[in-house]
Amino acid sequence: MKNLKNYLEISEEVSTALLENRAIVALESTIISHGMPYPQNYETAIKVEEIIRENGATPATIAIINGKLKVGLSNEEIELLAKEGLNVTKVSRRDIPYVVANKLNGATTVASTMILAELAGVKIFATGGIGGAHRNAETTMDISADLEELANTNVAVICAGAKSILDLSLTLEYLETHGVPVLGYKTKELPAFYTRKSGFELDYNIQSAEEFANILNAKWSLGLNGGVVIANPIPEEYSMDYDVITVAIENALIEAEEKNIRGKQATPFLLGKIKEITGGSSLDANIALVFNNAKLASQYTVGASKRSCGSRAGASRASNFDESM
């Protein structure tokens, strides 16, 4: 962590929240640059931050701007990422050194958002859906770095499950092997991003933010490093028909295979094709589930900060930032 202050910039709003031991919710930025078109991406990002504030927490949108690791973005920085879109580098763990060293702009994935959130002392992160094992990953080894980060980084991720374009069975197996709890929020079935159902039963489901807080506190107090996935289903009124979205995904996967689209280009391509096939209803669902996850994350962090559950580390980190770095 030596000389981290030369790289890490925490916004005044987030720094104040850390010092005052107030609730903070981390947000990724790949959803801004790669998740949806402009201006919906900008409007959605601003609205997510508003939802978090309305529920009593502080938003910490994370990105790399001109080579600086930014925890908490200005509206202007969010708009920059939104307008640049796919021209912004999509940054996972492996990409951070290159983007920082070359003073580039980078949009953070789930994995890199977790890394930067933990560096800043933020423990809760809301997003749309996590990455996972891609279909045929048993032969291609195409597995998202999100899963490895969840196995090692102490940040809880509230999401609508794994993206339904993935191999959900293999994704769950990977998380189980690496000791990552997957907790269904008021559901016994893994939600599959656009839909509330997937056909995969979860071992644990929780009914309240307090129960969630107690589990996190127990995990990290026992020294069991790594994250936790809280699978929060998309609201019923926005949930897409399981059969419709399944057909759309299968068609998009066939086209991706024909065009040899793989790696970090795969997810934006597939989501774009699914939006096209579904006439835009998948984008509406995507936005709705992000709002829903931000609300739940805010409610949890507000309750947790009142109980000082896992938040003291963040406050201490901010107050001792200059001395420790």
pLDDT tens for the chain, 325 residues long, are 457 889 999 999 999 999 999 999 999 999 999 988 899 999 999 999 999 999 999 999 999 999 999 999 999 999 999 999 999 999 999 999 999 999 999 999 999 999 999 999 999 999 999 998 877 777 768 788 999 999 999 999 999 998 778 899 999 999 999 999 999 999 999 999 989 999 999 999 999 988 998 999 999 999 999 999 999 999 999 998 888 888 888 888 888 888 888 766 777 787 777 778 777 788 889 999 999 999 999 999 998 877 654 444 444 444 443 444 4
Chain-centre distance for alpha carbon 108: 9
Residue ranges per structural domain of the chain: 4-317
**CB proximity list for 126: less than 8 A, separation 6 or greater:** 25, 26, 27, 48, 52, 157, 158, 159, 290, 293, 294, 296, 297, 298
* Residue 55, token pair as written in the block: 């529920």
CATH homologous superfamily, domain 4-317: Indigoidine synthase domain (3.40.1790.10)
What is the structure's pLDDT at 244? 84
Check: CB of residue 231 under 8 Å from CB of residue 187: yes
What is the structure's pLDDT at 311? 42
Tell which residue, 25, 16, 13, 22, has the closest CA to residue 292: 25
Catalytic residue selected from 70, 123, 163, 219: 163
Locus of tokens 């916004």: 11
What is the structure's pLDDT at 248? 82
Tell which residue, 121, 123, 168, 126, has the closest CA to residue 147: 168
90 labelled catalytic: no
Q: Does residue 96 sit in helix, strand or coil?
A: helix
Check: CB of residue 185 under 8 Å from CB of residue 231: yes
Catalytic residue selected from 28, 77, 79, 149: 28
What is the structure's pLDDT at 36? 87
28 labelled catalytic: yes
Q: For residue 59, say if its preceding peptide bond is cis, omega within 30 degrees of 0.
A: no
Helix (H) or strand (E) holding 159: strand 156-159
Check: CB of residue 168 under 8 Å from CB of residue 242: no
What is the structure's pLDDT at 265? 75
